[in-house]
Amino acid sequence: MEETQRKQHIVLHLDLDAFYASIEQRDHPEYRGKPVIVGGSPDRRGVVATASYEARRFGVHSAMPSRTAQRLCPEAVFLPARFEVYRAVSGQVMAIFRSHTALVEPLSLDEAYLDVTAAVGDLEEAAQLARVIKQQIQSTTELTASAGVSYCKFLAKLASDAHKPDGLTVISPEQAPAFLEALPIEKFIGVGKVTATKLREVGIAHGADLKRLGEERLRALLGKHGSQLYRFVCGQDDRPVEPTRERKSVGKEVTFERDLLDRGRMEAVLEQLARQVEDRLVELDLYARTLTLKLRWSDFQLLTRSVSRSNGFRDAQSMIPLLYRLFAQLNDGHRAVRLLGVSVSNLLSRDEVQRTGQITALTLWDRE
């Protein structure tokens, strides 16, 4: 036994159920109890963003071509996404989380880890807190969430997934080994299609098989990643819950009523967005180091491209040529665009800007 072991953490994972689809059913009572699919239209080669649980029974799931979804579930109602609404609901939910702990790490609009170690004494109290949070979400947004409670992020997330929708699952340190041993390998972080196939070929299907194999052989099979996997199957995950800072970025975006094909108009929109971002930066008296262009194709695929400079900028004039460049990398001129967004991050105060020096080489990377 290690004397120096840290105090056991208590982590919650909360994830709203069929998020976009539940909001649509909330706002359109006539769709309640019916299969609802939010995403791209089946006749425009769209993909499913999410489906209500009624539609999932037919095998419909996120990222599936909408046409396939329609074939599986012909009576489904297809609805376009209303991101502004989803974002507003997300804000309400995150505010509820932050009222219980400052240690909130959002993973997406509808999902976050909460480190509640300081707020509760044990897992039982943590489950009680999860119940309260679920009720607050219900009364504020009329939506259900599933909660997972455990001593680390990995297990908390698995727990919230275990009894969806409207679930509440606790995985205690005593329960963890049996839970992980029964878990299909695909559920382990980092086991994608390729790794899973490789493992299944040699007869490894569940956590118990991974455990039996041992660290050495997993490492031989999967490299460094194998050691990490071994730690997960032993229920060891010491990744901390990393709260995001309040203001991380400033952004503006626009979703078009009709998908846009005209290059000139897209550039005009980018200029307008850049000017709005500039106005906001001036209001906040901030500068930025990173500029991000966000683009959603008519088929719903979302892409972002970023560019960073070491000194701060805030004026639209300096953003526009960079935006054109990022845009040219993404747009081959043949696809219609559904959404354009411009945001800046890595924000700096005036003081920080005065202290920084030269422009350095541009770096480009993908975020999605």
Residues that bind ligand DCP (CB under 6 A): 15-20, 49-50, 62-63, 108, 110-111, 164-165
Q: What's the CA gap between 349 and 347, in Å, rounded?
A: 7
Indicate the residue among 63 and 282 with the shorter CB distance to Mg ion: 63
Q: What's the CA gap between 187 and 184, in Å, rounded?
A: 6
CB of 296 to ligand DCP, least distance (A): 10
Active-site residue (options: 111, 142, 186, 242): 111
CB of 54 to ligand DCP, least distance (A): 12
CB of 23 to ligand DCP, least distance (A): 8
Q: What's the CA gap between 188 and 198, in Å, rounded?
A: 14
Given candidates 105, 110, 115, 278, which one binds Mg ion under the rule CB under 5 A? 110
Count how many residues are written for the chain: 368
Indicate the residue among 51 and 176 with the shorter CB distance to ligand DCP: 51
Does residue 19 belong to the site contacting Mg ion (CB under 5 A)? Answer: yes
Q: What's the CA gap between 352 and 67, in Å, rounded?
A: 51
Nearest to 60 by CA among 44, 42, 43: 42
In which residue are the tokens 């080669």 written? 45
Footprint (CB under 5 A) of Mg ion, residues 320-359: none
Indicate the residue among 69 and 273 with the shorter CB distance to Mg ion: 69
Indicate the residue among 51 and 170 with the shorter CB distance to ligand DCP: 51
Q: What's the CA gap between 275 and 281, in Å, rounded?
A: 10
Active site residue 111: yes
Given candidates 9, 15, 101, 180, which one binds Mg ion under the rule CB under 5 A? 15
CB of 278 to Mg ion, least distance (A): 35
- Angle at CA 255, nearest 5°, toward 290 and 287? 20
Indicate the residue among 90 and 228 with the shorter CB distance to ligand DCP: 90
**Could you say which of Mg ion, ligand DCP, none residue 63 binds, taking C-beta under 5 to 8 angstroms by partner kind?**
ligand DCP
Residues 12-37 as b/e (b if ≥16 CB within 10 A, e otherwise) read bbbbbbbbbbbbbbeeeeebeeebbb
CB of 69 to Mg ion, least distance (A): 18
Tell me the longest C-alpha to C-alpha distance in the chain. 67
Q: Which residues are catalytic?
A: 111
Q: Which residues bind Mg ion (CB under 5 A)?
A: 15-16, 19, 110
